[in-house]
Amino acid sequence: MNKQELIEKYKKLEGVWNAEGAELARQIFLQDLEQLDKPQPVKVKKFVADFIAEQKKLGHTLSYSIDASMSDIVAEWYWDNSELFALAWIFGYEVEEEKRYTVVTKATKQPLYYNAMDKKLFFSMGGLATKFTRKQLKEADLGWVFDCPGIEIEEVEYDTNA
């Protein structure tokens, strides 16, 4: 008997048992059965998600995509995560959010802020703090802040709706 046959069997038993709580137990059991072996999407980096989406859009298969012209970064990630890649392809994926950080000087407690209007970075006097990815800090030649004893780095939640 497979899972679906078992679900159908217990669906047919609705109202059959008169014992107190039996119907509730049957419904809970059915809900649990339906969750059994339900594959969950895996988390992958954005560049992997973009690659998979592009390959599927082109109508490529999983095996073709593995041999396709992967960029170096995708290929490197793939060789370390081949099972995760296959699971993402088959069951779906969610994009793993990059960690975000605030950067604050220890001595003056001034947070690093990015002003989008004039595209400048500065340590804010008013307490405004930007939540940066490691990549953003490195691209701004500020990768050194992670190793600087005078800088406090805090990992923070990033609200995409803010």
Phi-psi region of 21 (alpha: psi -120 to 50; beta: other; left: phi over 0): left
User: Over the stretch 91-119, which tens digit does the pLDDT of each residue have?
Assistant: 999 998 888 999 999 999 999 999 888 98
Tell whether pTM > 0.75: no
Q: Are strands 93-95 and 42-44 parallel, antiparallel or unpaired?
A: parallel
pLDDT exceeds 80 at position 90: yes
Q: Name the residue ranges covered by the structural domains of the chain.
A: 3-35, 42-95, 100-156
Residue 4 has pLDDT above 70, yes or no: yes
Q: pLDDT at position 22, please?
A: 78
pLDDT at 20: 74
Which region among 46-55, 77-86, 123-132 has the lowest average model confidence (pLDDT)? 123-132
pLDDT in tens, 28-44: 888 877 777 777 899 99
Report the alpha-carbon distance of residue 34 to residue 6 in Å, rounded: 10
